[in-house]
């Protein structure tokens, strides 16, 4: 049976991030993708020109329509844009109780442009944290959620992961791609133990949507029955190949998207 996986995220018309990147990831990993749009953005590979959140009530309608009809194996959450959207989403997820929820707490674009209005970090902690299977922030996102400085060492990543887990998340994966080190190190803390996921540091220029793609890949792997550590490991392998082969694409003049279909094209 092919599992259905839902992306709840923003719309990036360049196809590098958000629901379009998620849908491509789900398809590449043999899942059927569904999408709930939380915001429209005007952006390309050079940056974000504008952002328009979808009304929270309509986001709720989107979610209700899907769960009323379709068995959803996992949910990936990305850009949430505003606190009222988060409250609405949390209420729906608490009602429908999907088995796996992976949260990528998108606060700013990779270009540095803001992708949220209001105190989204607090709303995530107050409403979403108790519901998710895994939260997967990068260094800056983890710092924003915890109200702490961004970690600069593996030891401080470990400490921050523990802090976020105490704030209500079942498991925390802090992505260390921006840490200055020979390898890219991600740290998982599940409340009892730490695990490190190490990968060669790539010099790829086309990295738009890397975080979206990783969290979507984890959700897809969970939907197919992998346990959490195995899902993260498989997702990271997929993302590394998508990064390594991204120069086969020719999308824009800034950092382009990953090659989601590198196994097939």
Edge-to-edge strand list for the sheet holding 47-53: 47-53, 32-44, 4-11, 74-77, 100-103, 134-135, 172-175, 183-189, 194-200
Point out the catalytic residue in the list 210, 213, 236, 256: 210
From first to last of its 265 residues, the chain has per-residue pLDDT tens of: 999 999 999 999 999 999 999 999 999 999 999 999 999 999 999 999 999 999 999 999 999 999 999 999 999 999 999 999 999 999 999 999 999 999 999 887 666 667 778 899 999 999 999 999 999 999 999 999 999 888 888 899 999 999 999 999 999 999 987 676 667 789 999 999 999 998 777 777 889 999 999 999 999 999 999 999 999 999 999 999 999 999 999 999 999 999 999 999 9
pTM of the model: 0.96
Percent helix, percent strand, percent coil in the chain, to nearest 5: 40, 25, 40
Partners of 134 in beta bridges: 102
Point out the catalytic residue in the list 212, 236, 245, 256: 212
- d(C-alpha 140, C-alpha 92), whole Å: 28
Point out the catalytic residue in the list 88, 133, 207, 245: 207
Q: Does residue 210 have an active-site annotation?
A: yes
Q: Does residue 175 have an active-site annotation?
A: yes
Q: What domains can you pick out in the chain, each with its CATH number?
A: 4-144+203-248 (3.40.1190.20)
| Nearest one of 224, 263, 235, 262 to 246, comparing CA atoms | 262
């Amino acid at each position: 049976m092919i599992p259905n996986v839902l992306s709840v995220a923003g719309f990036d018309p360049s196809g590098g991030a958000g629901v379009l990147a998620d849908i491509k990831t789900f398809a590449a990993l043999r899942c059927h993708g569904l999408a709930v749009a939380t915001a429209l953005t005007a952006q390309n590979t050079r940056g974000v020109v504008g952002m328009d959140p979808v009304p929270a009530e309509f986001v709720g309608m989107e979610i209700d329509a899907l769960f009323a009809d379709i068995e959803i194996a996992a949910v990936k959450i990305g850009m949430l844009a505003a606190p009222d959207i988060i409250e609405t989403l949390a209420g729906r997820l608490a009602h429908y109780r999907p088995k796996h929820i992976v949260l990528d707490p998108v606060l700013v674009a990779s270009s540095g442009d803001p992708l949220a209005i209001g105190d989204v970090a607090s709303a995530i902690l107050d409403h979403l944290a108790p519901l998710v299977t895994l939260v997967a922030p990068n260094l800056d996102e983890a710092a924003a959620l915890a109200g702490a400085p961004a970690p600069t060492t593996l030891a401080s990543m470990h400490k921050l992961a523990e802090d976020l887990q105490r704030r209500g998340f079942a498991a925390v994966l802090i992505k260390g791609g921006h840490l200055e080190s020979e390898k890219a190190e991600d740290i998982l803390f599940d409340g009892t133990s730490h695990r490190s996921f190490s990968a060669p540091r790539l010099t790829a220029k086309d990295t738009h949507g890397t975080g979206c793609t990783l969290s979507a890949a984890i959700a897809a792997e969970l939907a197919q029955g992998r346990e959490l550590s195995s899902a993260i490991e498989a997702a990271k392998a997929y993302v590394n190949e998508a990064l390594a082969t991204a120069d086969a694409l020719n999308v824009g003049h800034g950092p382009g998207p990953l090659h989601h279909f590198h196994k097939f094209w």
